[in-house]
Amino acid sequence: MHLGFSYTGLLLLLMLFVPNLYWTKNKPADYDQYAPHENKVLLCMERAGEVLVTGLILVFRDFNIQGFEPRLLWLAGAFALMVLYELYWIRYFRSEKTMPDFYSSLLGIPVAGATLPVLAVLLVAVYGRNPFLFAAGIILGIGHIGIHLQHAKEVSLRNG
């Protein structure tokens, strides 16, 4: 592992943060009713994972393209998942912006808005051979995907 700036990590974070910033003005109408019910352990894991992933993905240059070799497929896979993530957001922003829209699946991937970027982070970690980012991605995944699954279940129960 080599310390240094990761332009790949920056690009991935931009693909993650830009739609999320736009979402803050386009939340589902009843979103705030669900937040108080979030599992505190999952919330703590989500926050810790967010901080760890954001920092780690930027400070290791191993995530940058190292040449054309077979393991580059891991990085290509990560960016393919992030393209799907962008498509998920486009679909959401064109929808009625309801809770079921927000917690929808994409191509059979449950709670795609949470699952796709976590999977992308894990693939970047494999590409960069970085166990620290991989562990941070697991922590983020448990918290972030767990919270989204919890909300999706609540939405399903409320909407019968």
Q: How confident is the model at residue 33 (pLDDT cuts 50, 70, 90)?
A: confident
Instruction: Report residue 60: phi and psi, to 5°.
Output: -120, 120
Q: Which residues are paired to 60 by β-bridges?
A: 3
Q: How confident is the model at residue 155 (pLDDT cuts 50, 70, 90)?
A: confident
- pLDDT score at 57: 97
- Under DSSP, the state recorded for 95 is S
User: Contact 15/82 with Cβ under 8 angstroms?
Assistant: yes
Instruction: Report residue 47: phi and psi, to 5°.
Output: -65, -45
Residue of higher predicted confidence among 86 and 38: 86
Cα angle: 11, vertex 83, 145; to 5 degrees: 90
Terminal CA-to-CA distance of the chain, rounded, Å? 50
Sign of CA dihedral 14, 17, 20, 21: negative
Question: Taking residues 22-39, what's their average pLDDT?
Answer: 86
Q: What is the pLDDT of residues 83-138, one digit of tens each?
A: 999 999 999 999 999 888 899 899 999 999 999 999 999 999 999 999 999 999 99
**Distance of alpha carbon 151 from alpha carbon 46, whole angstroms:** 14
**Distance of alpha carbon 48 from alpha carbon 57, whole angstroms:** 14
- pLDDT score at 67: 83
pLDDT exceeds 80 at position 159: no
**Distance of alpha carbon 52 from alpha carbon 137, whole angstroms:** 8
**Distance of alpha carbon 92 from alpha carbon 76, whole angstroms:** 24
Question: Taking residues 41-50, what's their average pLDDT?
Answer: 97
